[in-house]
């Protein structure tokens, strides 16, 4: 049987993590499942957790009044959903909707923030990994804004 | 190294008369035309990645990549997006209309060098058209290649080319097809994001892979850089370049790109040759 610790340790986000860190994280982790077309979180809600996606696909959406939600990105197996738990004021910036049945590991952000404060090596490692994700998503967003396939 | 084209048998400046046999609407502004020789002579064999000069009588001449199956060289297939007067005239052709054809010209994709390796095809927008002959080539000669991974990015679901074929290719053994759009509607169940975000889902072995990339130049720059990060060597990444090609045989210089003529030395180049030029602002 797969343990949470093993699943966390084998997730691509934690590749190369020091061997005792997954054990520290396991206390903040739980399994999560979402049916197709359910919202995992919505903009403005408190951001108390993030997710390691194990299977399925999640749409990241922006809500605009009098318009249908705008899907700006999708996230899939091996990816991370949610980073607002890391930065004050810990509120969600987007909607996240399961567009396929999703299996994930939920990590409690409050619990994790406490552990990161207590263990700065863990905190620094987490920040480096999230900074890389933020950098990749910022670059992808800039690339997307170029609208390279439009007729010039 | 790219494969050099066989020299055309006839005067390369003299258009041959072809007739439109079929027109297929791919998207709102993109059409696929199938041409056959008007006098029954077989077309020159073409190499995946080569292009022809298509003469729309009374309008002008355009360089268009061949997007058909290299095994069916008696027919020439082109996928054209209507973006100006000449391309509009081309996509407005009807069955039976005459078109002048010169070529095939230019270097091709390195399909022979890719034998025994995984093949990664990365296409953006209409860039899938020049890569479709590579996909046919690999699927017709499956035993000669490792895995085939096709990453295709388009502006929106409405802009996807060859939808039925994408589905059919995904069913082939050792083949992975991943499609992403920059803007997905609510009913879209696929991936949303730029084509580079698909790379992490590609199941291949980067050190033994050859990548062939075609799309807007800025997209190719992003893709090539990310492919390097994923472990592909620069010399195993190939890009298809586009400039204002006129004569197509390296006489006129319209398509000069640094030390290269795109029509004759390209349009396919390895990334290690192109990289310094891609970063030049005014080229």
CATH number of the CATH domain containing B199 = 3.40.50.80
The least confident of A30-39, B34-43, B259-268 is B34-43
Q: Are B161 and B124 in a shared domain?
A: yes
- Strands (DSSP E) along chain B, which ranges? 16-25, 30-37, 51-56, 60-65, 75-81, 98-105, 118-124, 148-154, 175-181, 191-192, 209-214, 237-240, 256-257, 260-261, 268-270
Do strands A70-75 and A58-62 pair parallel, antiparallel, or not at all (unpaired)?
antiparallel
What is residue B5's DSSP assignment? P
Which tens digits make up the pLDDT trace of B43-55?
778 999 999 999 9
First-residue to last-residue Cα distance in chain B: 23
Q: Are B39 and B125 in a shared domain?
A: no
What is the pLDDT, as a whole number, of residue B2?
53
- Restricting to B residues 203-232, those with a Cβ less than 8 Å away from any Cβ of A are 215-216, 218-219, 222
pLDDT exceeds 60 at position B214 = yes
Would residue B164 count as lying in a domain? yes
Whole-angstrom Cα Rg for chain B:
18
pLDDT exceeds 90 at position B32 = yes
Q: Are B101 and B123 in a shared domain?
A: no
Which tens digits make up the pLDDT trace of B126-181?
999 999 999 999 999 999 999 999 999 999 999 999 999 999 999 999 999 999 99
First-residue to last-residue Cα distance in chain A: 55
* B219: chain A residues, CB-CB within 8 Å: 143, 148
Would residue B50 count as lying in a domain? yes
- The domain that holds B59 is classified in CATH as 2.40.30.10
3-state secondary structure of B22: strand
Q: Are B70 and B176 in a shared domain?
A: no
Higher pLDDT, A56 or B73: A56
Q: Are B127 and B89 in a shared domain?
A: no
Q: Using pLDDT thresholds of 50, 70 and 90, give the confidence band for residue B96.
A: very high
What is the pLDDT, as a whole number, of residue A106?
96
pLDDT exceeds 90 at position B255 = no
* Distance in angstroms (rounded) separating the CA atoms of residues B113 and B160: 29
pLDDT exceeds 60 at position A1 = no
Q: Are B67 and B174 in a shared domain?
A: no
**Of the residues B68, B83, B105, the one at which a domain ends:** B105
Residue of B nearest to A59 (CA): B192
Q: Are B97 and B133 in a shared domain?
A: no
pLDDT exceeds 60 at position A92 = yes
The least confident of A73-82, B6-15, B21-30 is B6-15
Q: Residue B28: CB partners within 8 Å, gap ≥ 6?
A: B158
Q: What is the mean pLDDT of residues A63-70?
A: 85
Would residue B268 count as lying in a domain? no
Q: Using pLDDT thresholds of 50, 70 and 90, give the confidence band for residue B91.
A: very high
What is the pLDDT, as a whole number, of residue B5?
53
What is the pLDDT, as a whole number, of residue B279?
78
* B81, B192, B222 ranked by CB distance to A73: nearest: B192
Q: Are B92 and B174 in a shared domain?
A: no
Per domain, the residue ranges of chain A are 4-145
Model ipTM? 0.88
User: Do the Cβ atoms of B152 and B195 come closer than 8 Å?
Assistant: yes
* A140: chain B residues, CB-CB within 8 Å: 193-194, 196-197
Residue B105: strand pairing partners = B51
Would residue B90 count as lying in a domain? yes
CB atoms A74 and B184 under 8 Å: yes
What is the pLDDT, as a whole number, of residue B162?
98
Task: Say how many CA atoms lie within 13 Å of A81 toward its Cβ.
Answer: 32
What is the pLDDT, as a whole number, of residue A124?
94
Mean pLDDT of chain A: 92
Q: Are B134 and B88 in a shared domain?
A: no
What is the pLDDT, as a whole number, of residue B277?
86
Would residue B256 count as lying in a domain? no
A67 has a chain B CB within 8 A of its CB: no
B31: left (phi over 0), alpha (psi -120 to 50) or beta: beta
Domain that holds residue B146: 118-240
A52: nearest Cα among A5, A113, A120, A110: A5
User: Count of domains in chain B?
Assistant: 2
What is the pLDDT, as a whole number, of residue A18?
86
Q: What is the mean pLDDT of residues B105-128?
A: 97
pLDDT exceeds 80 at position B280 = no
Would residue B248 count as lying in a domain? no
CB atoms A73 and B159 under 8 Å: no
What CATH number labels A4-145? 2.60.120.10
Residue B1: strand pairing partners = none
Q: Using pLDDT thresholds of 50, 70 and 90, give the confidence band for residue A86.
A: very high
């Amino acid at each position: 049987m797969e343990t949470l610790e093993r699943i966390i340790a084998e997730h691509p986000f934690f590749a190369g993590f020091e061997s005792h860190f997954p054990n520290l994280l396991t206390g903040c982790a739980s399994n999560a499942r979402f049916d197709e077309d359910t919202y995992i979180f919505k903009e403005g809600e408190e951001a108390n957790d993030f997710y390691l996606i194990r299977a399925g696909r999640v749409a990241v959406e922006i809500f605009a009044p009098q318009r249908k939600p705008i899907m700006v990105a999708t996230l899939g197996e091996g990816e991370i959903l949610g980073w607002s738990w890391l930065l004050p004021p810990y509120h969600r910036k987007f909607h996240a909707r399961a567009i396929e049945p999703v299996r994930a590991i939920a990590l409690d952000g409050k619990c994790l923030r406490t552990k990161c404060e207590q263990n700065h090596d863990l905190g620094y490692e987490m920040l480096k990994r999230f900074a890389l994700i933020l950098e990749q998503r910022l670059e992808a967003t800039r690339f997307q804004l170029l609208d390279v396939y439009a007729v010039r | 190294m790219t494969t050099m084209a066989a020299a055309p048998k006839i005067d390369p400046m003299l258009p041959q008369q072809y007739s439109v046999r079929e027109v297929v609407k791919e998207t709102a502004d993109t059409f696929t035309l199938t041409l056959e020789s008007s006098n029954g002579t077989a077309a020159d064999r073409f190499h995946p990645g080569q292009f022809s000069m298509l003469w729309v009588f009374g309008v002008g001449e355009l360089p268009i990549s061949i997007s058909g199956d290299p095994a069916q060289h008696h027919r020439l297939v082109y996928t054209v997006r209507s973006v100006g007067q000449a391309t509009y005239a081309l996509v407005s052709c009807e069955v039976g209309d005459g078109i002048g054809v010169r070529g095939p010209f230019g270097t091709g994709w390195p399909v022979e060098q890719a034998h025994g390796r995984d093949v990664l095809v990365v296409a953006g927008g209409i860039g899938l058209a020049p890569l479709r002959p590579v996909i046919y080539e690999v699927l017709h000669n499956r035993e000669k290649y490792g895995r085939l991974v096709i990453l295709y990015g388009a502006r929106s679901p409405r802009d996807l080319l060859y939808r039925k074929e994408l589905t059919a290719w995904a069913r082939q053994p050792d083949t992975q097809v991943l499609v992403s759009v920059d803007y997905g509607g609510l009913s879209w169940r696929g991936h949303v994001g730029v084509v580079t975000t698909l790379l992490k889902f590609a199941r291949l072995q980067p050190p033994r892979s050859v990548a062939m990339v075609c799309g807007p130049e800025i997209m190719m720059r992003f893709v090539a850089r990310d492919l390097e990060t994923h472990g592909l060597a620069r010399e195993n990444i190939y890009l298809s370049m586009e400039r204002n090609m006129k004569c197509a045989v390296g006489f006129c210089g319209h398509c000069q790109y640094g030390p290269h003529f795109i029509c004759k030395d390209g349009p396919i180049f390895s990334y290690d040759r192109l990289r310094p030029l891609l970063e030049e602002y005014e080229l």
